[in-house]
Amino acid sequence: MLTQLYIKNYALFSEADIAIPEGLTILTGETGAGKSLLVGALGLIMGRRVDGSVLLLSDEKCIVEARFQKLSRSVKRIMGKFEDFDADDGEVIIRREIRPNGKSRAFINDTPVSLQMLKQVSSLLLDLHGQNENQMLLSADKQMDLVDAYAESSHLVDAFGIKMVRLDKISEELDSVRAQEEESSRQLEYFRFMVDELEKAELQAEEEEQLEQELNLLQNSEDVREALGMAVERLYQQDQAIFNQLGELLDPLKRVEGVDKSIAEEVSRLMEVQESVKESAFSFQNMLDTVGSDPERLAFLEERLSLYHGLKLKYNCQSGADLVGLLDSTVGKLDEFQSLEGRIGDLEQQRSKVLEELTIIGQQLEQARIQGKGNLEKLVTNLLSEVGFEKARFEVAIERNEHADGLLEIEGQRVKPISKGINKVYFLIQTNPGMPAGPLSQIASGGEVSRVMLAIKAALAEKSDFPVMIFDEIDTGISGEIANKVGNVMKKLSRRFQILSITHLPQIAAKGANHLQVKKRVVGDSTQSTVETLAHEERVKVLAEMLSGASPTESAMKNAAELMSS
């Protein structure tokens, strides 16, 4: 509920700190005193745009602050989802500041927030019905919410919404995967040709380097054989071969190695050298046995290396190892394409399942709305007669949201699902017998729409959780007994919800549990407005003035007292 409203330097208000109690609070005052300015101040809390012209003193900033406490469980639950500010203690303070240059700032619990966030939060706390405004009731989306509240089908709406989020997620992923598949399919034939060509080549990462070494050896075989043969002879085969010379050198050294440890160490080293010479000679001999002139092998090597060279040029690779890597990556792309096809099939199955579930839940929701609308129509029609529409008839139209491209097929119809089901729901009203029922938006005055809203909310009082309701001149076009009935409906509704009502009618004003009066006075060279909370005696006098004028008679005072006690 709204417990306090603070206003500073706004329009005619220099400074006002207004405590607002529970129940029905009446707001009265003479014409031009500033009653509607209070509604305007609350409009700032709801995020309406404004400029510096609203400032009483043009060189000082304007502040409007509203304090909300005793939040309902549903509002607390929603508030808990906002990360922009902290509302853990169950209290919300909304503040709007307007600077002299016309720029504004918004705060929720002292945390700066955007205007969009302000509107989102304030809509949970305030329901403002101004006289010439486009009220919440005229929104088809809100009309659907009210029907669902009465039909107690909100759980189905939630279930449908969850499935719609799931459908959107699957559809988004499906579109992405299909786009990938489409892009891959354009290169698919090229990739397949590449893999076929590279696989037929039977490439190996180290082969090209090995082939080049072997080719170089064959191309220089005569020089290699001559060098190897000379090395084998001089290392091991000749009488004066290095191996034999080392043996002659080692014989006398071995006889004296026991004399000195250092000699023994050097002898050991020379023996190792002699053995290495022998091993090198044997290795060169083995090489010599394998090196020879082989024209067929030479032709094979040249042809094989030519294949590598051509493929490297064709696919812009630097080495045979790069070609092998290209083959592996392209095979991976082909496998990925196959997996995309499988993923598409899987997503299409998931999507079909969600569409089936949406169809089932959507029909259940539609049936719940149809079952609930009859009683709602009767109840609201009866209440309309109590708020001044004696011959009015209220109807709830429920239609399927048919569309040629609808995702759902229900009973041969293509239906487009929305976040809250498969239906369009809107209110119709017939104000005069014999005339066709028409949309509520065709009702001319804001006061009439406010009374229709009052009737609907009274019908839904036991099944809904409304924010603070503010009615600006709901009494437009009524008087006498009808005004008394409107007051009774508001009084009854205020037992569950907080209501602020601006009125000119004593019959409605008398129903309030509390009474605020806006007064205008001259301070120096300026006119300023103030707000006063009236005691019982003051209320009786104000009601009497509303009945008979500025100087109420004793009879008027008596009538006012009777109105308050009725």
Say yes or no to pLDDT of 293 above 70.
no
- At residue 58, the 3 state secondary structure works out as coil
Output the pLDDT for position 136. Answer: 60
Place of tokens 């500010």: 85
Task: Report which of 521, 564, 518, 558 is spatially closest to residue 539, judged by C-alpha positions.
Answer: 564
Please report, for the chain, the start and end positions of each structural domain, with discontinuous segments joined by +.
Answer: 1-131+448-455+465-534, 183-337
Provide, rounded to the nearest whole percent, the portion of the chain with pLDDT above 70.
95
Return the pLDDT at 90: 75
pLDDT at 412 over 70: yes
Better-predicted residue by pLDDT, 134 or 69: 69
Residue 285 contacts residue 232 (beta carbons within 8 Å): yes
Q: Return the amino acid letter for 135.
A: Q
325 near 316, Cβ under 8 Å?
Answer: no
β-pair partners for 13: 10
Query: What's the CATH superfamily of 1-131+448-455+465-534?
Result: P-loop containing nucleotide triphosphate hydrolases (3.40.50.300)
Please enumerate, as own/partner, the contacts of 196-203 that have beta carbons within 8 Å and a separation of 24 or more.
197/311, 198/311, 198/323, 198/326, 198/327, 198/330, 199/327, 201/307, 201/311, 201/323, 203/308, 203/311, 203/320, 203/323, 203/324, 203/327
Mean pLDDT of the region 206-222? 76
pLDDT band at 446 (very low <50, low <70, confident <90, very high): low
- Looking at per-residue confidence, does 516 or 85 come out higher? 516
Contacts of 410-414 with C-beta under 8 Å, sequence gap 24+, read 410/359, 410/362, 410/363
Distance between CA 194 and CA 316 in Å, rounded?
13
- Predicted model pTM: 0.64
8-37 average pLDDT score: 87
Instruction: Identify the pLDDT of residue 132.
Output: 44
Least confident of 184-198, 441-455, 484-498: 441-455
Checking if the pLDDT of 208 tops 70, the result is: yes
Which residues, in sequence order, are CB contacts of 239 under 8 Å at separation 6+? none
On whether the CB atoms of residues 211 and 301 are closer than 8 A, the answer is yes
- Phi and psi (nearest 5°) for 72? -70, 165
pLDDT, tens only, 105-156: 999 988 899 999 998 888 888 887 654 444 566 678 888 988 998 899 989 9
Q: In the structure, what pLDDT confidence band is assigned to residue 444 with cuts at 50, 70 and 90?
A: very low
Q: By C-alpha distance, which of 248, 243, 314, 240 is closest to 279?
A: 243
Asked if residue 372 lies in contact with residue 151, where contact means CB atoms within 8 angstroms, the answer is: yes
pLDDT of residue 363: 96
Q: What is the pLDDT of residue 19?
A: 93
Helices (H) and strands (E) in the chain, counts: 16, 17
Tokens of 320: 């045979």
CA 395 to chain centre: 35
User: In 10 A of CB 563, how many CB atoms?
Assistant: 22
Is 340 in contact with 183 (CB distance < 8 Å)? no
Residue 75 one-letter amino acid: V
Q: Which residues does 18 contact at the CB level (< 8 Å), separation at least 6? A: 4, 5, 6, 7, 516, 531
- For residue 59, pLDDT over 60 is answered with yes
Averaged confidence pLDDT in the chain: 85
Note the pLDDT of residue 3: 93
pLDDT score of 324:
87
Q: Is residue 313 classed as helix, strand or coil in its secondary structure? A: helix
Tens of pLDDT, residues 140-198 = 888 898 899 889 998 999 999 999 999 999 999 999 888 877 777 777 777 878 888 88
Averaged pLDDT, 236-253: 86
The 10s digit of each residue's pLDDT in 261-291 is 888 898 899 999 989 988 988 988 887 767 6
Sheet holding 499-502, edge to edge: 126-129, 468-472, 499-502, 24-28, 514-523, 526-533
- Rounded distance between C-alpha atoms, residue 41 and residue 529, angstroms: 13
pLDDT tens digits for range 295-344: 777 788 888 888 888 999 988 988 888 888 888 888 877 777 777 778 88
SS3 for 122-159, per residue? HHHHEEEECCCCCCHHHCHHHHHHHHHHHHCCHHHHHH
Each residue's pLDDT tens digit, 507-530: 999 999 999 999 888 877 788 888
* Mean pLDDT value across residues 459-487: 81
Burial of 16 (0-12, 13-18, 19+ CB in 10 A): buried
Residue 496 pLDDT greater than 80, yes or no = yes
- Give per-residue pLDDT as tens, 333-384: 777 777 777 888 889 999 999 999 999 999 999 999 999 999 999 999 999 8
